[in-house]
Amino acid sequence: MNQLDQLKQFTTVVADTGDFQLMKQYTPQDATTNPSLILKAVQKAEYRPLLDQAVRDNEGRDAVMDALLIGFGCEILAIVPGRVSTEVDARLSFDTEATVAKARHLIALYEQRGIARERVLIKIASTWEGIRAAEVLQREGIRCNMTLLFSLAQAVACAEAGAQLISPFVGRILDWHKQKAGDKWDAAANAGDDDPGVRSVRQIYDYYKKFGYATEVMGASFRSTGQILSLAGCDLLTISPDLLEKLAATEGQVERRLSVDQAQAANIARIECGEAAFRWQLNEDQMATEKLSDGIRLFAADAVKLEALIAR
């Protein structure tokens, strides 16, 4: 068996792409999208009809954007047997009420297309305001995927709020540490289990399983197959097409690296997750603070580019 097939024995594999053909090729259980992926996809000729239809059938920028997101989501759900993640505009990351309203609207649009809300995850940035929005939405049966997550403090707050799923960003954590170290970066000493992104996800996974949280952990933003294989056994892993291809083309043994039994046997202390504690812990984590704000700005910038494409 190739590494991808072996990985699927331990972990639910999710496609991190807006490319339908690649989803069909690698048969993931779920799929994730974001403004960056959709912006990339709609510039391909084969996906242009989705953009054209959204513009033709709707009036106003926001209506067209929402229709485009739902159009991609519905096409994806015709391919994958599980769920699709659809992202709330990153520019709403610090507005709880607006995030709740947008999420409800997106779910309503899916339901108008005959898609049950159980098959949709609403992606929300893991700010304090975003987490509070998820708490409201989860009580309404709207399941949330908490994205742009870089710290244990964010993860604990999301679990306490009852979020369905979190997406800790492995590769972006690694990127920050490499840039911070500069010429002093030691690649060998920061590989495998010692990769800072891998360590972060393992810490979160162990904490959740130790204390019995139901929130799913989905590692995201990978830079190499080594990072992925070091997290074999994580609830889910969302993987880009190029890394799916490498895994599918590589033979070799894949071992489970994360497990509930191992986590429950670990000596882990609980941490506070009230608003003051959350904000202080995030403030004290320079990497998480910078990457969260960077991620929001990047997703917001791509949303603006997508709006400009719609306007043209």
Q: What beta strand segments (E) does 150-290 contain?
A: 165-168, 216-219, 236-239
Label residue 236 by pLDDT band (50, 70, 90): very high
- The catalytically annotated residue of 40, 44, 102, 123 is 123
Counting other chains too, the contacts that 292-298 makes at CB distance below 8 Å and 24 or more residues apart are 292/125, 292/126, 292/127, 292/148, 292/150, 292/154, 294/172, 295/90, 295/125, 295/147, 295/148, 295/169, 295/172, 296/90, 296/93, 296/125, 296/127, 296/148, 297/90, 298/36
Q: What is the spatial distance between Cα 146 and Cα 126, in angstroms, rounded to a whole number?
A: 6
Label residue 310 by pLDDT band (50, 70, 90): confident
Residue 81, classified by CB atoms within 10 Å of its CB into exposed (0-12), middle (13-18) or buried (19+), is: exposed
pLDDT tens-digit map of 141-160: 999 999 999 999 999 999 99
pLDDT tens-digit map of 2-24: 999 999 999 999 999 888 888 88
Bridging pattern class, strands 216-219 and 165-168? parallel
Q: How many CA atoms lie within 13 A of 308 on its CB side?
A: 7
> Structural domain tally of the chain?
1
Amino acid 32: pLDDT: 85
Whether the predicted pLDDT of 138 surpasses 90? yes
Q: What beta strand segments (E) does 78-189 contain?
A: 84-87, 120-125, 144-149, 165-168
Q: What is the spatial distance between Cα 242 and Cα 197, in angstroms, rounded to a whole number?
A: 19
Bridging pattern class, strands 120-125 and 84-87? parallel
pLDDT tens-digit map of 34-57: 878 888 888 888 888 998 999 999
Label residue 166 by pLDDT band (50, 70, 90): very high
Q: Which domain holds residue 51?
A: 3-311
SS3 155: helix
User: To the nearest whole percent, how much of the chain has pLDDT over 70?
Assistant: 100
Cβ atoms < 10 Å from Cβ of 149: 30
Is position 123 annotated as part of the catalytic site? Answer: yes
CATH number of the domain that residue 83 is part of = 3.20.20.70
Label residue 241 by pLDDT band (50, 70, 90): very high
DSSP 89: P
Q: State the average pLDDT for the chain.
A: 95
pLDDT tens-digit map of 78-112: 999 999 999 999 999 999 999 999 999 999 999 99
Closest listed residue to residue 142, CA positions, set 112, 113, 100, 97: 100
Q: pTM of the prediction?
A: 0.94
Whether the predicted pLDDT of 122 surpasses 90? yes
User: To the nearest whole percent, how much of the chain has pLDDT over 90?
Assistant: 86
pLDDT tens-digit map of 277-307: 999 999 999 999 999 999 999 999 999 998 9
Contact 16, 38 (CB under 8 A): no
